[in-house]
Amino acid sequence: MIEKETLKPIFKNLIEIILEYQKFNLKMVSENTELISTNNNNLSKHILDLNAQLSNYQLRPDYDQDPEYVKN
């Protein structure tokens, strides 16, 4: 049977490795959350720009009936 004193340093090292891995994971989650937030902000700006462009763009009333426009 393995002595308790022999196992102590092994478990201590394992716990340290797990804690470092958890810190790394938290860092990655934080960085990814920041990237997602930035991407969401950029998308929101693009959507607002597109909405502004669409609201300024007016279609002719007979757009659907005009064969020249329907071709394109």
Residue-wise pLDDT tens digits, 1-42: 778 889 999 999 999 999 999 999 999 999 999 999 999 999
Boundaries of domain holding 36: 2-56
Going by C-beta distance under 8 Å and a sequence separation of 6 or more, which residues neighbour residue 64? 70
Determine the pLDDT at residue 24.
Answer: 97
Is 37 within the bounds of a domain?
Answer: yes
Reported confidence tier of residue 63, pLDDT bands at 50, 70, 90: low
pLDDT at 55: 77
Q: How confident is the model at residue 61 (pLDDT cuts 50, 70, 90)?
A: low
pLDDT value of residue 14: 96
Q: How far apart are CA 3 and CA 5, in angstroms?
A: 5
In a domain, 33, yes or no: yes
- Residue 62 resides in a domain: no
Could you tell me the two tokens for 18?
């797990």
Which residues lie closer than 8 Å to 66 by C-beta, 6 or more apart? 60
The neighbour count for residue 23, using CB atoms within 10 Å, is 10
Q: In total, how many domains does the chain have?
A: 1
CA 23 to the chain's CA centroid: 20
